[in-house]
Amino acid sequence: KQEVTQIPAALSVPEGENLVLNCSFTDSAIYNLQWFRQDPGKGLTSLLLIQSSQREQTSGRLNASLDKSSGRSTLYIAASQPGDSATYLCAVRRGSSGSARQLTFGSGTQLTVLP
Amino acid sequence: DTGVSQDPRHKITKRGQNVTFRCDPISEHNRLYWYRQTLGQGPEFLTYFQNEAQLEKSRLLSDRFSAERPKGSFSTLEIQRTEQGDSAMYLCASSLGQGRADTQYFGPGTRLTVL
């Protein structure tokens, strides 16, 4: 059974700092990995998707990397802003066998960027 | 706004009552997913539709839960005889089915409170 862990559970940084969020998963036979952002009481916003054959993806100030062999992904946020404050979730979709479409989520890292 | 809508956004009910939630996916998406999220946790998969066919159901989906997607467009999730443990955010997602690049887009969720 796939398990996804995100450490730390909470992180507080001053504005302008670069930061890294970590995600680890137990089964390396993944199809893809997505990073999401969730604001309090709201749904999830997709940030980046990394296919299993890729090593990284970039969007603006965000860069996500994937190392399947070690079961790890990182989300790098450059020049953090107070508006980046949210919970960041990573989710993996397992290998393509059968109809295994669902995502398995970590519990998230709650990020606070202080002005 | 991801383009996935859910109704209602909030539902308060008494234990033992039945409730029904609706999800309208992005119009061209043939895949639709239901997840449940409790406080401080990542979403957990409930069920998956491809067009009108329900192809996967989680063990979390007890006999009191039923989901439909009658014409391959909107979907409903019904919970019968609600229990306090059903209190959670119910999230709907949809995707286009793009292989390893398939991104799931989430709606704002329906928050259920069972008294």
Q: Are B92 and B111 in contact (CB under 8 A)?
A: no
Are A105 and B108 a contacting pair at CB < 8 A?
no
B50 touches chain A (CB under 8 A): yes
Restricting to A residues 19-58, those with a Cβ less than 8 Å away from any Cβ of B are 31-32, 34, 36, 41-46, 49, 51-53
Contact (CB<8Å) B56/A99:
yes
Q: Do B106 and A36 touch (CB under 8 A)?
A: yes
Q: What per-residue confidence (pLDDT) applies to A97?
A: 54
Cβ B107–A99 below 8 Å, yes or no? no
How many angstroms separate the CA atoms of B29 and B95, rounded? 5
More confident residue, B19 or B62: B19
Residues B28-61: tens digit of each pLDDT: 999 999 999 999 999 999 999 999 999 989 888 8
**Separation of alpha carbons B106 and A53, rounded Å:** 24
The pairing of strands B10-13 and B110-114 is parallel
Which token pair is B60? 């979390």
Residue among B56, B103, B109 whose CB faces A34 most closely: B103
Residue with tokens 């949210």: A86
Separation of alpha carbons B46 and B3, rounded Å: 21
Whose CA is closest to B23, among B113, B114, B106, B112? B106
Residues of A in contact with B100 (CB under 8 A): 31-32, 51-53, 96
CB B20 within 8 A of CB B8: no
Average pLDDT of chain A? 92
Closest by Cα among B70, B59, B17, B54 to B36? B59
pLDDT digits (tens, 9 = 90+) for A63-98: 999 999 999 999 999 999 999 999 999 999 986 655
| CB distance B19 to B112 below 8 Å | yes
The DSSP call for residue B41 is S
The pLDDT tens digits of the residues spanning B67-107 come to 999 988 999 999 999 999 999 999 999 998 877 778 899 99
